[in-house]
Structure 1
Amino acid sequence: MEILSPAGSPEAVQAAVYAGADAVYLGYGPFNARRNARNFDQEELQQAIDLCHLYGVKVYLTLNTLASDREVAQAAQVAVEASSMGVDAILVQDMGLLQVVGQVAPDVHLHASTQMTIHNLDGVKRCADLGLTRAVLSRELSRKEISYICDHSPIEIETFVHGALCMCYSGQCFFSSVLGGRSGNRGLCAQPCRLSYGWNGKADRYPLSLKDMSLAGHLRELQDMGVACAKIEGRMKRPEYVWVVTKVYADALREGREPTAEEVAQLTAAFSRQGFTDGYFTGNQGAHMFGVREQQPEPRELFAAARAGYDKPTQLVPVTLHASIQAGQPACLTLTDEDGHTVTVTGPAPEQARTRALEGEDVAAQLSKTGGTPYRVAQHQVEVGEGLSLPRSALNALRREGVEQLSAARTALPQRRHFPYEPLPKVANPTDAPALHVTLRSASQCSPALLDSQPARIALPVDEAASHPDVVADIQAHGIQAAVVLPRICWDGGEMDTLKDQLTRCRDMGVTHALVGNLGLLDVARDLGFTLHGDYGLEVFNSHGVKAYRELGLASLTASFELKLAQIRDLSKTLPVELLAYGRLPLMITENCAMKAGAGQCCCGNGNTLTDRRGVGFPVMKAWGCRNEIFNSDTLFLADKAGDYLRAGVSALNLLFTTEDDHTVVDMVQRYQGVGNAAPASYTRGLYYRDVE
């Protein structure tokens, strides 16, 4: 199992390599999920790659953010440059960038970032179909889920084993962007989850701040499952942290054991939030998983040892040495490393010895003096003719040349194809007025007055639709398209079985349209005959993303609500594109129940509101699968901006109703139909008019 370490700076690269990492991940350019990390310029990246490859360490580039149409060409150039310099793989989140990188740099491996929210086997299989060679699973999965995926996965599986835990599923958090314009999907999360919040109008606790994860104690279990890579989080952390954490995990794994109590204490001293948690992995969730960063003195001795440690490598590259010194022939040295690189160098022919003749052991000892190099001689075979002499300086020169040539072979640039980026042809926007689509949270919101208003589509959560066939029948009887909304999160096993059962019941009612917000749920709906429509969870951010989902067979898409209206207008709409035009924007979907952790008991039906330090309340509602969903305090409202959204060229407006009663639903639908003057008491324009960093 590979130990993968974070590298937010050149110093952190050296710390990771010298501590025993098998691979590092780092950012280059503006398109990575830690844009505030030190990251690398071109010269630094090449030096980092050369150092890593010299020691047999792989380098993965993080290109795992969303890119707009104006940025795609630059992102493609970043991928080509990194591939040309020899990175071993590129991590991606954006479906459009995935397609583009596959075109411009087809020979470099692609990994699905955890930002893709891959959390079930169908999602992993979809990644394989798209040409990805590894998937980084969501941090929330239990050992049972990880094991099941590993047992059936056609590609490598990577899991986090240490570092910060986000409260929200990665790739589905909009808290930072909606509140402050700094998007976690664009690499600039402001971490509002680490601030104080509370219930009953008091922000007196930290219900969104989880302790850091540590799976120290589960390494052998992960390895036995077939996990290919154990990932350490921390590109914003200092090199000393990288060295300490990498060494603890690398030493334990290579020695076939778990970290000792002393090593766990080192992990805690390096960085923690009131200790660590393995609650997701063990399935033991609850209030004990939450914690905050406390002011602690720097562990001076530990970090001093770390600084001394990353001045010299702990793991040297084993080589096999073969030397032949024979009369009348040039001295010959062959070095072979564990990766199959072999170099042969020659020196002067030996002379007849005048005094003491060369012995094989003396030659082996001299040629094995590889101190100050990345190598150690693990095996040697030396053949020396009788009565011969060769100066020590000649043996040293032979060794130096052999080491230099082996290092050159190990750091040689790979032979890869690269192609210029080709922008997509522009597609004229539709000129028809957009249809009106309504997405309800509850069947109780579907009133006779709503049906009489005749929206083009009414969508219900799949569990609501399955349990309210009368409501579905009423929708269809009014000539309105009925659709179901699939959950963004659905684990394998019992959850997937439940979803299939609910979808089957809806299909038997005559429902044939499904809104899908995750790659891992395309197949379950399609296999049951549903027409697929991309929901906001797919985060369609550029024209290449539209094209990618069109090729996957979707019938329409919802544009990311992190785009401006002008950016949505400029999308090449090879599929009908919908606009989320009304509703409380989703901020988080969480596996750990903030409500239960705060109240000590399950309280989903109580209309819970999370309060921040300013007294602003955020509705928290139950999501499918007994999860939490946190929504914005203000309601997105665009009914008085028809001129703007009409210019965006969208095929439909989607009105998302959460906390509204049935009367408000009707009022808002009619307002978007041009009737009345209803408006929310407190509303926002969302991100449609302001740049998201």
Structure 2
Amino acid sequence: MSRKIELLAPGGDVDAIKAAIVAGANAVYCGLDTFNARNRATNLSFDDLMGVIELAHQYQCEVFLTMNIVILEHEITGLVKLLNQIVNIGIDGIIVQDLGIFNLVKKHFPTLAVHASTQLTTHNPGQIRFLAKVGATRANLSRELNLGEIKSLTTLAHEHDVLTEVFVHGALCIAFSGQCYSSSVSVGNSGNRGRCSQACRDEYEITNAGNKFPLNLKDNSAYFDLPELVDAGVDSLKIEGRIKGAQYVHTVVDSWRQQIDKFVETGQLLSDNTNLYKVFNRDFTNSFLKGDLTKNMFIDNPRDNSFQHANDKHNAISVVQIQAVQKDLSEEKNAIGARVVEKIQHLSIAKQALTIRFSGQAGKPLTVDVTAGKHEFCVQSEMPLIASEQAAVDQSAIEKRFKSLQQGKYALQAFDFSGLDTGLNMPFKELTRIKKQVAFLLNDSVKVIPPVTLPKLTKHSKLTDTPTLSLLISDEKDLHLCDVTDADIYFKLPESFKKNCTKYIDILLRNPRLIPWFPAVLIGKDYLEAVKILERVKPARIVTNNTGVAYKAYEMDISWIAGPFLNTTNSYALLTLQEELNCAGAFISNEINQNQIRNIARPENFKLLYSIYHPILMMTSRQCFFQQTVGCNKPAIEDGCMLKCEKATTITNVKGISFAVDKQKGGYPSIYNHEQFLNMDVIDDFSHLFDEFFIDLTNIGSGSKAELDKVQLIHHFENLIKGDGEAKAQLDAMVTVSTHAQYSQGL
């Protein structure tokens, strides 16, 4: 087999990166202490990163920098400063979530390869086309996909010059990545900012099914699925674990390296995965890949399973047997750690020593001899030095121009002027030219890209003088609301459709006032059925939370609005949507606060929307929340579950806070906060910014709460937007359990 299969390893700190390199990783991904989605990892300093790149490249290992969070408006200047730095240090790619980075890279840093993070929730063909259009060179596919879905998307991606990457080992989130707000809602630490508090690992009051950790999945391992992944055409096999240490990283990477090499050489697999159980694990599952979503994916313990596995393997039952097994495993773990330390201790990421010697005399060129690691070269001036009483080529003039060379991957030891006569002159521009040539050669003869300064964005005017109200329904029984308001009415489409069913096409054709609202997740045939709705109904406009539907709307020249679950937080994300895909407007994320909203610049002829009332989604999953809570007789999720199941329950954490677990017909299982989001302050603060304020009148996430009078709600919200002082009190009286904490705390 000649095709390269990249083994991509995590690097939470320098030792973990070294361990990955010596274990045989083809690439590592790591983060700095800003702009990355693993704040709990140690992460790297910028000097560390430069040293890591130099070390990794010596071993033919690539380095990808994680910048996989949403970016706030005030951070754009710092982000561009960082891009200015990394574009010149040999980074092999950046991993991003925020759509605004695509705009910045495409315009100002086109040499950077951009990988779409799993946080972009990529799971259908339209999303591959979307990512190719905005400039992605690689897509990390959603972890929930099965092998058939992965193969289909990879084939399409390759047709668009996009590589695919699949997680093959490590922790599994139960929620769709990028669509989990549990940490943000509960403790103010957003997963979209790398501060996930791991609510899915939390302990809850014991459920009817007898579980304390009903959301806790086993770890992912595709160790024995390598042939199928190769057959699917996947380009990169990614190991999760940037908060894991060197011992873990080396063990897992080494095991996978051996498996890949064995398969490449012989077409056969190793049958022993014992070593994977000797480091942290929660036991293993490959059920997402197999499309077999059973109860066996769960484990009722989020802590390290390695000792329990050892007990089970040796059938240790008595206290003496267990103690002996635990002692042996502990000693083996210590031995593994010692071997890793020994293997990496000689590896250095220290800056290479840089020495620069200047020599010359009147009538001769200025000669600059440079020595730095593998580099040893000489650069001469294009004109001779001139004897002059007004000497310009002195030590201070040279140091002023050449001292910036020590800001890169080299440690400048000293300037040597012993061979340079005094009383000499040369134009400053020639000194600058020499310095640029030295920098070029030190940069492996790659042109140094000068710093970019962003032009100030224009804040364009609103499309309407006064903000309007819009509302969302999801049931035909609410169609009478069309008669009580002039507001725009969006109709929420499900996440799953019966194949070739025209139910929703018929509803939309019979009620042309309804504006289709597409969900965030549409996989497989459900995406194809959603596309049929666009093709048959041909609506004048839509709202979509799915970038695949957005791309199809762009192709069909349908006006589209980016929904709230696209996590839009800055002006450059708006520009990406408008300039690349002709987007007509966008919801601004409800995760950001008043100050973070304030300076967002609206593009020209672009609508801005904000949701002021909705159930607060915490997470959505392709797995079933009911198997571990109220219980379910089915051993696994079937195709019919999505279309038929409409269970609801609650789970209560150990602090006594309950959350609604809700499943609508045609929807994925979801968990909602016990409070509704109700933000009336934003109307006073930002009526000058937003064209439209939105309310969600679906019954999703209501749990056991009584249904409110929707006609009254509409009238009160309309009056609130018009400035009626009594409306606020009336809404407070109706919506008794609410919060808008995110508007205060932000990201």
Aligned position for 1:544:
572
Aligned length: 593
Worse overlay, 171-180 or 300-309: 300-309
* Amino acid of the structure 2 residue aligned with 1:566: N
- Give the aligned partner of residue 562 of structure 2: 534
1:389-426 Cα distance to aligned partner (Å, 9 max, x none): xxxxxxxxxxxxxxxxxxx9999474453441404423
The structure 2 residue matched to 1:271, chosen from 280, 285, 289, is 280
Q: Does the residue aligned with 1:51 lie in a helix, a strand or coil?
A: helix
Choose the corresponding residue for 1:521, options 532, 541, 549: 549
Q: 1:227 to 1:192 in 2, by over 3 A?
A: same
Query: Separation in 2 of the partners of 1:412 and 1:301?
Result: 43
Report deviation, 1:151: 1.9
Q: Tell me by how many angstroms 1:593 deviates.
A: 1.3
Give the superposition deviation at 1:267: 0.9
Superposed displacement of residue 530, structure 1: 3.2
Hey, what does 1:670 align to over in structure 2?
A: 715
**Residue 591 of structure 1: which of 597, 622, 638 is its match?**
622
Separation (CA, whole Å) in 1 of partners of 2:83 and 2:210: 44
Look up the match of 1:500: 531
Alpha-carbon offset, residue 170 of structure 1: 0.9
Cα pair distance change 1:200/1:161, threshold 3 Å: closer
Find the partner of 1:643 among 684, 689, 696.
Answer: 684
Please name the residue that 1:453 is paired with. Answer: 485
The structural deviation recorded for 1:84 is: 1.7
- Which of the residues 452, 455, 459 maps onto 1:420? 452
Residues 550-573 of structure 1 show CA distances to partners (whole Å, capped at 9, x for unaligned) of: 111111100011111332232101
Q: Deviations over 1:600-653 (max 9, x none)?
A: 246832333333333433223336855222222100112466312425x11101
Moved more, 533-542 or 564-573: 564-573
Q: Does 1:482 align with 2:522?
A: no
| Residues 1:344 and 1:31: Cα distance change in structure 2 (over 3 Å) | closer
Letter in 1 for 2:714: V
The amino acid that maps onto 2:690 is V
Confirm or deny that 1:440 pairs with 2:473.
Answer: yes
Q: State the partner residue of 1:682.
A: 737
> Paired residue for 1:179?
186
Whether the 8 Å CA contact 1:112–1:136 is kept in 2: the answer is: yes
Moved more, 108-117 or 217-226: 217-226
Kindly provide the CA deviation profile for residues 7-40 of structure 1, in whole angstroms up to 9, marking residues without a partner as x: 0111011100011111000001310110221111
Residues 1:614 and 2:689 are matched in the alignment: no
Q: 2:252 aligns with which of 238, 242, 245?
A: 245
Normalising by structure 1, we get a TM-score of: 0.79
Deviation at residue 343 of structure 1 after TM alignment:
11
SS in 1 for 2:25: coil
Equivalent-residue separation in structure 2 for 1:665 and 1:681 (angstroms): 15
Alignment partner, residue 398 of structure 1: none
Instruction: Give the 3-state SS of the residue equivalent to 1:144 in structure 2.
Output: helix
**1:232 corresponds to which residue?**
239
Q: Deviations over 1:32-66 (max 9, x none)?
A: 11022111112211111111001110000001111
**Displacement of 1:594:** 1.0
Q: Which has the higher mean CA deviation after the structures are superposed, 169-178 or 98-107?
A: 98-107
Distance 1:535 1:50, change over 3 A: same
Change (3 A) 1:681 1:616: same
Measure how far apart 1:538 and its partner are.
1.2
The answer as to whether partners of 2:509 and 2:537 remain within 8 angstroms in 1 is: no
Which residue matches 1:555? 584
Tell me what 1:61 maps to. 65
Q: Please point out which of 589, 605, 608 is paired with 2:646.
A: 605
Give 1:306 shift: 4.3
Aligned to 1:403: none
CA contact (8 A) 2:170 2:219 kept: yes
Identity %: 27
CA distance in 2, matches of 1:107, 1:473: 47
1:337-380 Cα distance to aligned partner (Å, 9 max, x none)? xxxxx9999xxxxxxxxxxxxxxxxxxxxxxxxxxxxxxxxxxx
Provide the residue aligned with 1:364 in structure 2: none
The SS at the match of 1:230 is strand
Q: Which residue of 2 aligns with 1:385?
A: none
Conserved 8 A contact 1:18-1:311:
no
SS in 1 for 2:457: coil
Letter in 2 for 1:487: P
Report the residue type matching 2:13 in the other structure: S
**Cα distance in 2 for residues equivalent to 1:189 and 1:133:** 27
Measure how far apart 1:269 and its partner are.
Answer: 2.1
2:601 paired with 1:572: yes
Q: Check conservation: 2:262, 2:270, Cα contact below 8 A.
A: no
8 A Cα contact 1:92 1:113, kept in partner: yes
The amino acid that maps onto 1:578 is L
How far apart are 1:313 and its partner, in Å? 7.4
Retained in 2: the 8 A contact 1:512–1:529?
A: no
Residues 91-240 of structure 1: matches in 2 within 5 Å?
91-153=95-157, 154=160, 155-197=162-204, 204-240=211-247
Instruction: Give the Å deviation of 1:203.
Output: 9.1
Q: 1:638 to 1:222 in 2, by over 3 A?
A: same
**Does the residue aligned with 1:31 lie in a helix, a strand or coil?**
coil
Shift of 1:251: 1.3
| 1:489–1:158 CA distance, 2 compared to 1 (3 A) | same
Instruction: Say whether 1:80 aligns with 2:100.
Output: no
Separation (CA, whole Å) in 2 of partners of 1:121 and 1:409: 43
The secondary structure found in structure 2 opposite 1:458 is: strand
The alpha carbon displacement at 1:290 in A equals 1.1
Deviation (angstroms), 1:206: 1.9
Distance in 1 separating the partners of 2:664 and 2:446: 47
What is the Cα deviation at residue 243 of structure 1? 0.3
> Residue 521 of structure 1: CA displacement?
1.9
